[in-house]
């Protein structure tokens, strides 16, 4: 195991998920306040790419945990919108390095 490094912006509430993009890179998502954030992490050098705000959700427990999957060059993020009582999905195209 390599040395841990920080990827959050300073105020995470958790709700972390990770999905491998390829053999060397993973997308990590987490929540800070009502924002669902993401970063690309490289397993060889441990450097996190620029943090991206993917969407807003609720930090309430009823919002659950955002779920992340990667397939065929895109990341799929789903989350619960407790105000609208819906499940929402966003597709994030991934650029190959």
* pLDDT digit string, tens, across residues 63-73: 788 999 999 99
How many structural domains comprise the chain? 1
What percent of the chain has pLDDT above 90? 61
How far is it, in rounded angstroms, from Cα 92 to Cα 4?
26
Range of the structural domain that residue 42 is part of: 14-93
Q: How far apart are CA 18 and CA 40, in angstroms?
A: 10
Q: What is the pLDDT of residues 26-54, one digit of tens each?
A: 999 999 999 999 999 998 888 778 899 99
Statement: residue 61 has pLDDT above 90:
no
Q: Given 3-state DSSP classes, what are the helix, strand and coil percentages for the chain, each rounded to the nearest 5? A: 5, 50, 45
Question: Which among 66, 64, 32, 29 has a CA at the least distance from the CA of 49?
Answer: 29
**Has residue 3 been placed in a domain?**
no
DSSP state of 33: T
The model carries a pTM of 0.86
């Amino acid at each position: 195991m390599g040395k841990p490094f920080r990827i959050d912006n300073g105020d995470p509430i958790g709700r972390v998920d990770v999905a491998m993009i390829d053999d060397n890179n993973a997308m990590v998502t987490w929540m800070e306040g009502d924002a669902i954030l993401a970063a690309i992490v490289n397993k060889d050098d441990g450097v996190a790419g620029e943090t991206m705000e993917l969407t807003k959700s609720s930090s309430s427990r009823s919002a659950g945990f955002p779920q992340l999957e990667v397939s065929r060059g895109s990341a799929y993020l789903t989350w619960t919108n407790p105000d609208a009582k819906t499940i929402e999905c966003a597709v994030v195209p991934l650029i190959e390095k």
